[in-house]
Chain A
Amino acid sequence: MMTTKTAGGIVQFFNRLALGVLGAIALVSFAAQAPAHAQLRAQVVGEQYIPLRIAVPDFDGTGPNAAQIAQDISNVLRADLGSSAPFRVLDKTAFIEKDLDITLQPIFANWTVAGLETQALVVGNVVVNTANNAMTVQFRLWDVYGQKLQYEMGYEVPTPLNWRRLAHKVADDIFTQLTGDPGYFDSRVVFVSKTPGDEPFKGRLAIMDQDGANAEFLLSNYAAVINPRFSPTDQVVLYGAYIPDPRYPGATLLRTYLYDLATGRQEILAEGAGQLDFSARFSPDGKSIVFNRAERGNTDIYKIDLASRRLTRLTTDSSIDVSPSFSPDGTQIVFQSDRGGSKQLYIMNADGSRMSCPRGGSGDACRITFGEAGYSFTDPVWSPRGDWIAFSRQGGGQFVIGVIQKDGSGMRILTDGYQDESPTWSPNGRVIAFERTASRGAGPKIHSIDLTGRNERRLPTPRDATNPTWGPVLKMQ
């Protein structure tokens, strides 16, 4: 707590925070005053949201260039909320009341008129202060029909350079207030960038904000990268890279790297010497890794503890066991195996202990999909909320993304692509991004879809893209 002041009727407590990933930028947080009673919430009926009607008028701007920054922030805020299934962002040209003052209560009747019927109203401002080179964003969230202030918050940064993250932080706050779930807008997606016309083999590691902004390559060299996987806790990525065998020019090795995005430090975790390690994925606490090891024609699942480097073999079946993914509590692992004759999903205990399998399986792993109508199930990824497992289902000439519960119940198919694969969850488990090849020979792109199966959209990438992996919400340190 550095200082307390009163401005615009909002009591503001300053906490100086540093945004670790983005380096020198500091963030100052104002107080959050959330009344505990009867909050406005986006309603869910069955498994679908009834989108909550939210109005985000352009924020007011005070100070040099503040009007433009306020406009930019408002645009990103509307785009974030508008990309998300729980919200319907209302067209600002239909607003009666304009140039709202954050210090004043809005005239609610102007927002409930027929056609507008605003349920939630966000009023904010941006103040650029040249005296201390600081920029402040503050906002209030109004429950229009309840005619009351639901939430207010403010952030301050030393420069206006990072206005996009500020907009995402505001969007995350609003998402949390109106859904009860954590927001996910202040997060990034790592993917493999493919240049059309190049060999399919080649691919560069790249990163972008979850909305596609700020896309850039992560490594300076052209390479053949596969299967990047974000840590669920930190800005750290695992990936595989085909590299020339240093012993024999012309031969190739597949290495697994651990890459710290903040420091740029890389570490080789595995490199084939008689075996091929691939598809490494972090445990929920980020302290261990599960991966595939192919050796003498058989692929099994292994786990390695990062601190001790202790290796544990988790499957010994003679079939192909691939694509392991931990449950968010770390106790179980979902994977794909053809041990039953076709490619299906299985769940095992992470400590190797026996389990009872009411629907089938041997006791070391329980089968959860059964390939009705000849379908195969592949690429399982456990939601960070733990409630669903995303997969790619193969059959009928296409691959589609779906979700299933860990007991095999509740399966729903969410997409209808030609080849949709490599699903990855938003950090709050609400949205799935995936790789889509739209038709035979089409360049792969990244798309996302809400868990409800609604709101499918393309995540823009500068070139073709495969293997998306969605990182955790960025920390304020």
Chain B
Amino acid sequence: MRTFSLSLLATATIALAACASNPPPEPPPTPSASNTTTVTPPVQPPVQPPRVTPPPSGPLAGSKADFAVKATDRVYFDYDAYNLDSDDQRSLSSQIAWLKQFPSTRVEVQGHADERGTRDYNIALGERRAQSVKSFLVAQGIAENRIQTISFGKDKPLDPGHDEAAWSRNRNSYTNVIVEAIS
């Protein structure tokens, strides 16, 4: 009694606890000879130099960490608003370029709101923000089926503060890479 009868949820919830704090991405694997060999097409002569050479200290191309370096992963909104201004569109252009470079990737667009508002309204508002971003990405040529959305409303603030500076940071949409490119 009073325990989960759904084992799926039980395991899911444990996993949620583990991921809820957005841990930093795994450090990229150290480039090695075998690594470069695998990306070499077998039809090429063995003397052909590798086409893809990850930078020795940077993230692996097409990875979540690579996205964080090459794209602006978060756009910010005005109070109670969900429209994208020119700054936001510039930020999203960097996302679009990356998504076009790595067409096998998939993203989750998360909508967030500040704490000034009720839970329900802020979930709806966060969903609008996430959809604004998704619509822009789709309009710029990213396949719709590569993008899923979620809203956390006011319940997952980026900034734990309670002033206008924190609120303006918490009105955002975050693009979360959930399928990385295989390299």
Q: Is A200 within 8 A of B6, CB to CB?
A: no
Complex Cα distance, B115 from A246, in Å, reads 29
Further 8 A-B residue pairs, CB within 8 A, beyond A244-B15, A244-B19? A245-B148, A250-B19, A265-B5, A266-B5, A278-B120, A278-B123, A322-B124, A336-B120
Complex Cα distance, B1 from A199, in Å, reads 28
0/1 per residue, B1-41, Cβ < 8 Å to A? 11111101110111111011100000000000000000000
Find the residue from A221, A257, A399 having the highest chain B CB count within 10 A. Answer: A221
Q: Is B10 within 8 A of A224, CB to CB?
A: no
Which B residues are CB-close (under 8 A) to A296? Answer: 131
Q: Is A227 within 8 A of B119, CB to CB?
A: yes
Find the residue from A200, A294, A336, A441 having the highest chain B CB count within 10 A. Answer: A294
Q: Is B131 within 8 A of A253, CB to CB?
A: no
Which A residues are CB-close (under 8 A) to B161? Answer: 441
Which B residues are CB-close (under 8 A) to A268? Answer: 6, 9
Complex Cα distance, B109 from A276, in Å, reads 13
Q: Is A50 in contact with chain B by the CB < 8 A criterion?
A: no
Please, how many residues of chain A have a CB less than 8 angstroms from a CB on the other chain?
62
Q: Min CB distance, B91 to chain A, in Å?
A: 19
Query: Which residue from chain B places its CB closest to the CB of A264 in the assembled complex?
Result: B1
Q: List 22 A-B contacts (CB under 8 A).
A: A203-B155, A219-B13, A220-B2, A223-B17, A241-B9, A241-B13, A242-B16, A244-B16, A249-B178, A252-B16, A252-B108, A254-B151, A266-B5, A278-B120, A292-B124, A299-B124, A323-B118, A323-B121, A336-B120, A394-B117, A421-B118, A421-B119
Q: Is B71 in contact with chain A by the CB < 8 A criterion?
A: no
Q: Is A343 in contact with chain B by the CB < 8 A criterion?
A: yes
Q: Is A266 within 8 A of B6, CB to CB?
A: yes
Q: Is A219 within 8 A of B124, CB to CB?
A: no
Which A residues are CB-close (under 8 A) to B64? Answer: 250
Q: Is B19 within 8 A of A279, CB to CB?
A: no
Query: Which residue from chain A places its CB closest to the CB of B144 in the assembled complex?
Result: A274
Which B residues are CB-close (under 8 A) to A18? Answer: none
Which B residues are CB-close (under 8 A) to A279? Answer: 119-120, 123
Contact residues of A between 299 and 322, Cβ < 8 Å to B? 299, 320, 322
Q: Is A379 in contact with chain B by the CB < 8 A criterion?
A: yes
The verdict on A294 contacting B9 (CB below 8 Å), with A226-B155, A250-B178 known, is no
Task: Point out the residue from A243, A262, A264, A343 that lies within 8 Å of B12, measured CB to CB.
Answer: A243
Q: Is A243 within 8 A of B121, CB to CB?
A: no
Q: Is B17 within 8 A of A276, CB to CB?
A: no
Complex Cα distance, B110 from A336, in Å, reads 24
The verdict on A199 contacting B156 (CB below 8 Å), with A221-B13, A264-B5 known, is yes
Complex Cα distance, B19 from A201, in Å, reads 12
Complex Cα distance, B152 from A189, in Å, reads 24
Q: Is B124 within 8 A of A294, CB to CB?
A: yes
Which A residues are CB-close (under 8 A) to B15? Answer: 244, 249
Q: Is B17 within 8 A of A221, CB to CB?
A: yes
Q: Is B125 in contact with chain A by the CB < 8 A criterion?
A: yes
Which B residues are CB-close (under 8 A) to A278? Answer: 120, 123
Which A residues are CB-close (under 8 A) to B14? Answer: 221-222
Q: Min CB distance, B133 to chain A, in Å?
A: 10
Complex Cα distance, B108 from A248, in Å, reads 9
Q: Is B135 within 8 A of A297, CB to CB?
A: yes
Q: Is A440 in contact with chain B by the CB < 8 A criterion?
A: yes
Q: Is A202 within 8 A of B17, CB to CB?
A: yes
Q: Is B168 in contact with chain A by the CB < 8 A criterion?
A: no
Complex Cα distance, B177 from A320, in Å, reads 28
Which A residues are CB-close (under 8 A) to B119? Answer: 226-227, 279, 421-422, 467
Chain A residues close to B by CB (< 8 Å): 199-203, 218-224, 226-227, 241-246, 248-255, 257, 261-266, 268, 272, 276, 278-279, 292, 294, 296-299, 320, 322-323, 336, 343, 378-379, 392, 394, 399, 419, 421-422, 440-441, 467
Contact residues of B between 102 and 160, Cβ < 8 Å to A? 106, 108, 110, 115-121, 123-125, 127-128, 131-132, 135, 148-152, 155-157, 160
The 7 A-B pairs at the shortest CB distance, nearest first, are namely A297-B131, A299-B124, A294-B127, A221-B13, A440-B162, A201-B156, A322-B120
Complex Cα distance, B22 from A258, in Å, reads 28
Q: Is B176 in contact with chain A by the CB < 8 A criterion?
A: yes
Complex Cα distance, B117 from A322, in Å, reads 12
Q: Is B87 in contact with chain A by the CB < 8 A criterion?
A: no
Which A residues are CB-close (under 8 A) to B110? Answer: 252
Task: Point out the residue from A201, A272, A399 that lies within 8 Å of B155, measured CB to CB.
Answer: A201
Q: Min CB distance, A375 to chain B, in Å?
A: 13
Which B residues are CB-close (under 8 A) to A262? Answer: 1
Q: Is B127 within 8 A of A299, CB to CB?
A: yes
Q: Is B179 in contact with chain A by the CB < 8 A criterion?
A: yes
Query: Which residue from chain A places its CB closest to the CB of B123 in the assembled complex?
Result: A278
Q: Min CB distance, A201 to chain B, in Å?
A: 4
Q: Min CB distance, A435 to chain B, in Å?
A: 9
Task: Point out the residue from A244, A298, A323, A419 that lies within 8 Å of B120, measured CB to CB.
Answer: A323
Task: Point out the residue from B8, B156, B179 that lies within 8 Å of A246, measured CB to CB.
Answer: B8
Complex Cα distance, B16 from A244, in Å, reads 6
Q: Is B4 within 8 A of A221, CB to CB?
A: yes
Which B residues are CB-close (under 8 A) to A200? Answer: 155-157, 160
The verdict on A266 contacting B4 (CB below 8 Å), with A224-B155, A244-B15 known, is yes
The verdict on A219 contacting B118 (CB below 8 Å), with A276-B123, A294-B151, A320-B125 known, is no
Q: Min CB distance, A147 to chain B, in Å?
A: 49
Q: Min CB distance, A178 to chain B, in Å?
A: 35
Q: Is A378 within 8 A of B131, CB to CB?
A: no
Query: Which residue from chain B places its CB closest to the CB of A297 in the assembled complex?
Result: B131
Which A residues are CB-close (under 8 A) to B116? Answer: 394, 419
Q: Is A218 within 8 A of B2, CB to CB?
A: yes
Which A residues are CB-close (under 8 A) to B20? Answer: 199, 201-202, 224
Task: Point out the residue from B12, B131, B160 that lies within 8 Å of A244, measured CB to CB.
Answer: B12
Which A residues are CB-close (under 8 A) to B82? Answer: 297
Q: Min CB distance, A111 to chain B, in Å?
A: 45
Q: Min CB distance, B68 to chain A, in Å?
A: 13
